Structure 1
Amino acid sequence: MNKKGSRVERELVKMLWNANCAAMRAPASGGATKKPLPDIIAGNGKIYLAIEVKSTSADQIYINSEKIQGLKEFSEIFGAEPYLGAKFKNKKWRFVHVDNLIKTRGENYKVDIDLAFSKGLEFDELLGKDKQVKFS
């Protein structure tokens, strides 16, 4: 994990704690274990989240299919909702449910900035505190 990735993960964990969610980074994510682990696990007794975190200065993020399959598997066993937490440079966090990710020709996944801001949730929406009206 590079420094930028660790920094944004810590930033999100702090945001979750400040919003009254217990949250932790899963330091074994990224290949240190054979078990599928998300970058962040969080919950507040009402909602449980498993989040794969990606940040970029580009307009799209690509994610290996094994990461997404692992996130789905973990979430199913744990009882969490699986999300990609996307942090685009100079933009607010967006949280895209894994079912809304775009499958690439190479059988991996991607999310672009347009998808993140059309189908992704804002932080308060993710926690069920606010519902944003989205127009089609």
Structure 2
Amino acid sequence: MSKTGSKEERDLVNKLWNANFAAMRAPASGGATKRPLPDVLAGNGKLYLAIEVKSTRQEYIYIDNEKITNLLKFSKIFGAKAYVGAKFIRKPWRFIKIEDLHITRKNNYRVNIDLAFSKGLDFNEIIGESKQTKLI
């Protein structure tokens, strides 16, 4: 993973800790193991999140089919909600449900900035705080 990707993962882990979630980066992510691990794992005793983190300066993010398959496999076993955490540089985090990702001709996945901001959730939404809850 690039320095930027690792930085974004650390940023997300810190945001999750600040929201009262225990969170960690999976150090085996990226090929150190054959096990299906997400980039970030978090939970608060009620809600568990498994997140594949992608960051870019471009308009599109491409994700290999194997990464999504492994994310789904891990999430099912662990009981976590699976998301792709998309960090477009200089934009806020967006979290996309797997079923909302675009499938490419080669059976991989793609998310662009428009999809991320039209169908993706913001940070408060994935941790169970709706925007309306925050206003009260």
- Fold in common (TM above 0.5): yes
Q: Which amino acid aligns with 1:22?
A: A
Determine whether 1:106 maps to 2:82.
no
Identity score, percent: 65
Q: For the residues of structure 1 that align with 2:90 and 2:97, how far apart are their CA atoms? A: 22
What SS is found at the alignment partner of 1:73?
helix
Q: For the residues of structure 2 that align with 1:52 and 1:107, how far apart are their CA atoms? A: 17
Q: For the residues of structure 2 that align with 1:32 and 1:52, how far apart are their CA atoms? A: 16
Q: Deviations over 1:76-102 (max 9, x none)?
A: 000001100000011000000111111
Query: Where does structure 1 lack aligned partners over 5 or more consecutive residues?
Result: none
Q: How does 1:22-37 map to 2 (within 5 A)?
A: 22-37=22-37
Q: Which amino acid aligns with 2:88?
A: F
RMSD over equivalenced CA pairs, Å = 0.9
Name the residue aligned to 2:59. Answer: 59
What SS is found at the alignment partner of 1:128?
coil
Q: TM-score, normalised by structure 1?
A: 0.95
Determine whether 1:76 maps to 2:76.
yes
Name the residue aligned to 2:90. Answer: 90
Corresponding residue pairs, total: 132
Query: Where does structure 2 lack aligned partners over 5 or more consecutive residues?
Result: none
